[in-house]
Amino acid sequence: MSIPFRFPDGFLWGAATSAYQVEGSPLADGAGPSIWHRFSHTPGRVTDGDTGDVACDHYRRFRADVALMRELGLTSYRFSVAWGRVLPEGTGRVNQKGLDFYRRLVGALREAGIEPFATLYHWDLPSALDDRGGWTNPDVAGWFADYADVLFRALDGEVRFWATLNEPWVVSDGGYLFGGLAPGHHDAGEAVRASFNLMRAHAAAVDAYRADGRHAIGLVVNLEPKYPASERPEDLAATARSAAEMNRLYLDMALLGRTPDELPALFGEAWPADAAAVAASVRRELDFLGINYYTRGVMRDDPDALPYRASRVHQDGAPHTDIGWEVFPQGLFDCLTWVKNRYGDVPLYITENGAAYPDPPAVAGVIDDPLRVGYLREHLRAAHRAIAAGVDLRGYHVWSLLDNFEWNHGFSKRFGIVHVDYATQRRTVKASGRFYAEVIASHGACLA
């Protein structure tokens, strides 16, 4: 008799963080500043003027955090490497102290029986490279490949999962098109150039890994399934435009070697003349694909919402997280099955999934967060349904292990299954963390 919701043997149960959000000490031991260090120290950019100068102090407390991961039963930890810790100027000289931090972190994970799942780039470009044009400079592909090669040579013996980029859409859209994220630019031409250079960098890093690596390399994208607000032809077309720009551009380039047909008209003169050639040149076989899923988009035609001429329709009456995202577990199932149907049987990992909610005060040392528990339960059930439907899903990483610096929201939004008191750095496992530990111990059987 099969057990409902039991996940396959060998399924990776993980949690995720990123360097600037948790490490703190961004300039310690010879590290170079990143665009997020610069951005967060610019008045008006981040809620309450928060910065990642201390964050969760993971740089100094990582051993205790690894012990906490072990207590929860995690079998995987997804983290990112701060490029500027390893190469303070972005290129050239290697900072051995920075590299040694990641050696120690990986060693502690291995000792605890936890699989290191490393992301090369999670939004914190060295400021020295931003001064040279950042992701708009075509030379960035070579810079990134050289940086990646340093890490592959140093850590590939212990790290068996490497992701090149985290959410290239967010890097381009938030950093170069709308400017709400670092480096804070607002230019459609820059955004398009950044998109193509990100994928050129991804391909160059994959090539570097194929030369030296021994395990698995992939790409992490954020997907938001798009649904039309109505059956009006205008809304259907707007939904297709939005899906092309957010969901298909990077995956089509990486896995199919082409770009969506809808995009040249959206970006006009900003669209590069050599787009087809670049897309064909960056197609690479990947060992896995990471999927970050949080919510869906219900879209309507909106000529004033440039450049996509589509806007989101708020779903009145539906539950929403503290960050304003609709809770829609079906969207995770839809994402996973869509990827399988469009791109084939590339192995998948859910690399981020979670929810921000305001946590109540601890009562007798317990932080009860039932909304987050419910969110995780229903999304894990959706993930299991995708496996039952034939999706090759091999792991799940909750976002996030710790409450942390939530980018331009600062410390005002809490995603963690572990509460962090930022004044004392005390960690307290929330009810959602205990629930997740039970899921792991039962291989999902407790979801029934």
Residues contacting 240, CB < 8 A, separation 6+: 226, 262
d(CA 348, CA 350): 7
Smallest CA-to-CA distance from 229 within 296, 317, 321 is with 296
Residue with tokens 């921000």: 356
Q: Which three-class secondary structure state does DSSP give residue 52?
A: coil
* Burial class (CB within 10 angstroms; exposed 0-12, middle 13-18, buried 19+) of 273: exposed
Catalytic residue among 23, 224, 352, 406: 352
Nearest to 122 by CA among 80, 69, 74: 80
Output DSSP code: residue 430.
B
CA angle 298, 301, 305 (to 5 degrees): 95
DSSP 33: P
Phi, psi (degrees; rounded to nearest 5) at 16:
-125, 150
Length of the chain, in residues: 448
Sign of CA dihedral 198, 200, 203, 207: negative
Please report where in the chains the tokens 């100027």 appear, as a residue: 89
Q: Where are the beta strands (DSSP E) in 52-99?
A: 76-80
Catalytic-residue membership of 378? no
Q: List the catalytic residue out of 23, 115, 167, 406.
A: 167
Active site residue 234: no
DSSP per-residue codes, 367-400: B--HHHHHHHHHHHHHHHHHHHTT--EEEEEEE-
The residues assigned a catalytic role are 167, 352
